[in-house]
Amino acid sequence: MTVRVELTSPSRHPLAGQTMTGADMVIQVLADEGVEIVFGYSGGAILPTWDALGRYNVEQESKRRKPIELVVPANEQGAGFMAAGYARASGKVGVSIVTSGPGATNSVTPVRDCMADSVPIVLICGQVPRAAIGTDAFQEAPVFNVMSACAKRAFLVLDPEELEATVRTAFEIARSDRPGPVVLDIPKDVQNWKGTFRGEGVLDLRGYRERMQALYGERMSEPKGAAFFDILRKSERPLIYAGGGVIKSDAARDLRRFATTLKIPVVTTLQAIGSFDTTHPLALHMLGMHGTAYANYAVEDCDFLIAVGARFDDRVAGNATKFAPNAKNIAHMDIDACEVGKVKLVTWSHIADARSGLQDLLNSARGFQKDFSPWLDHVAALKKNHPLDYDRNCDFIQPHYVLECLNKITQGEAIICTGVGQHQMWAAQYLDYKHPRSFLTSGSMGTMGFGLPAAIGAQFARPDRLVINIDGDGSLRMNIGEMETVTNYNLPIKTILFNNQGDGMVRQWQKMFFAERFCGTEKFLHRKDFVNAARADGFEFAVRVSEKNRVERVLQEFVHHNGPAFLEVMIDPDACVFPMVAPGLSYKEMVTGPHIAPRKQETVKPAKPTDLF
């Protein structure tokens, strides 16, 4: 790899020409990139960089400048998810720094999670000295080999002359194009090496930069914009299907302008929740496996599906051949050309980030007029006739009720983080989200244990916002060590634990598809006292609720508590998530459950276990 020096500003870097260690260069580039906080855990192979960070911060404080804040988690997986939560909540690149061997391998899951959900982070790993690589040295692991399969890009820095440029390039790659994680594996002797700091320069990735220049420099042509509106003019029932790319490209405002100007209703994926205000009349909320019934019915009925920053994944499309069966035309706008036509054939497409693409379409919309009132009336009727609902008469606490009460308090203004499971879907369904970057959850990877460390990262990113982690007893156990991190840094994060004494989502599948053989998902023998565990970790507010009539009052105390708060709610162990579209089935085969009115009764044949994926 060669270094291509390119000026990033008219003036030279004030430290250009100074002699630094490799570790000092790493920290200086982080500072130059605007990094304000890093999440990480120390260890032998990363100690030079750790020491450089400490020295840098002392120097900054002596000059009364802001240092780079360091947050130390319980383990490296927590650090990775904190960096991801920070990135998701802020839109900036999150940074995690860990040691070699187990420090790096503990970070594989958050790296893969970020790759799956297009989240920009930079992971810096220590590595054994170059001479020891391949000798099974202490705490050596083949980080480059492992991470290359999981990350957007991985670098093993063997030439110290390239270190500075490689770190700078990592940030460029992480945030550009379709965002994602970049991993830097830096041997200890490269960190200790001394050389001249240039203050500029990136790696020569000519093909990548030429593609980026074309991607960001090209605007939609007039004929292409006109072709889109020719289709829309012939349509009677258009529907916008918004994906996570809308949030990644900061296009929520453009999506709202586009939808409200043209009067087109909007459904969103799990990752796009918050991209369109859920309280808006045009909002149909989430579609897909556990989407609202009315959103899925609208997908069934639309004749023109407009996908923006979405990828037709299996949890949305289900049986792809039967997805949007009445859509005579499908438009697809995405930053990644590989996604267009991958799952569904389309009649119109445009390769661009959602923000510029929507802006171009709005420019092309001048003079366009069409009345979609009959379709909007139809959609309004779907929302009225098929709302979310649950068993309101059950003696056990229903999680849906808890979230309805919470929603009255937060009114769509909180940042909600979740673990993975039933609680994740309930939070997506029953809470309102008025702003982008306000619903943080592991989507494609479905990583249990995501919620709490992500909430920590989000709270550091947005100290002005109320951050609530909604978790399950199985998911919280995965990274419960981060409870202490919350109190160590006195973060006012609120954690609601829905305890159904089992792995609820898998249990629901076993109930529906495996003849109620609850193998490995019943946890009634577990003895974890979550409330006392929270108190031991320093939570002053740690309360358990098992009576329905206490829920509203305790929720008020919980949300308004000044500082970290933990609330365990003992919920109905048989509560299920509905609607549900089983894997591989179509929306016509959606199961609405006993309390959500279906459009018409369908005889749904349960999928065989071998059909589930």
C-alpha closest to that of 460 among 36, 27, 98? 36
Cα–Cα distance list, 17 to 13, 31, 158, 245, 569 (Å): 9, 17, 22, 41, 59
Return the structure tokens found at 390: 């649950």
Is residue 272 within 8 A of residue 246, CB to CB? The reply is yes
CA distance 134 to 146: 14
Is residue 581 within 8 A of residue 296, CB to CB? The reply is yes
Strands 3-4 vs 202-203: parallel, antiparallel or unpaired: antiparallel
Q: Respond yes or no: is residue 188 known to be catalytic.
A: yes
CA distance 135 to 145: 15
CA distance 573 to 568: 14
- Between the two ends of the chain, the Cα-to-Cα distance in Å is 41
Residues 406, 407, 412, 413: is their CA dihedral positive or negative?
negative
Task: For residue 182, give the H/E element and its range.
Answer: strand 182-187
The DSSP bridge partners found for residue 122 are 95, 182
- Residue of 66, 69, 138, 602 marked catalytic: 138
Q: How many residues does this entry show for the chain?
A: 613
Sheet holding 283-286, edge to edge: 283-286, 266-268, 238-242, 304-308, 329-334, 348-351
Q: Respond yes or no: is residue 139 known to be catalytic.
A: yes
Torsion of CA 382, 384, 385, 390, to 10 degrees: 120
Non-local (6+) Cβ contacts of 143 within 8 A are: 100, 104, 105, 125, 127, 154, 156, 183, 185
C-alpha closest to that of 12 among 184, 150, 199? 199
**Other CB atoms within 10 A of residue 307 CB:** 26
Residues 271, 275, 279, 282: is their CA dihedral positive or negative?
negative
- Residue of 188, 248, 344, 494 marked catalytic: 188
Map residue 53 onto helix, strand or coil: helix
Tokens 């500029």 correspond to 200
CA distance 54 to 69: 10
The number of C-alpha atoms within 13 Å of 347 and in the hemisphere containing its C-beta is 14
- Residue of 505, 539, 541, 580 marked catalytic: 505
- Residue of 60, 139, 501, 556 marked catalytic: 139
CA distance 484 to 533: 10
The number of C-alpha atoms within 13 Å of 526 and in the hemisphere containing its C-beta is 16
CA distance 503 to 473: 8
The DSSP bridge partners found for residue 196 are 19
Catalytic residues: 76, 138-139, 188, 505
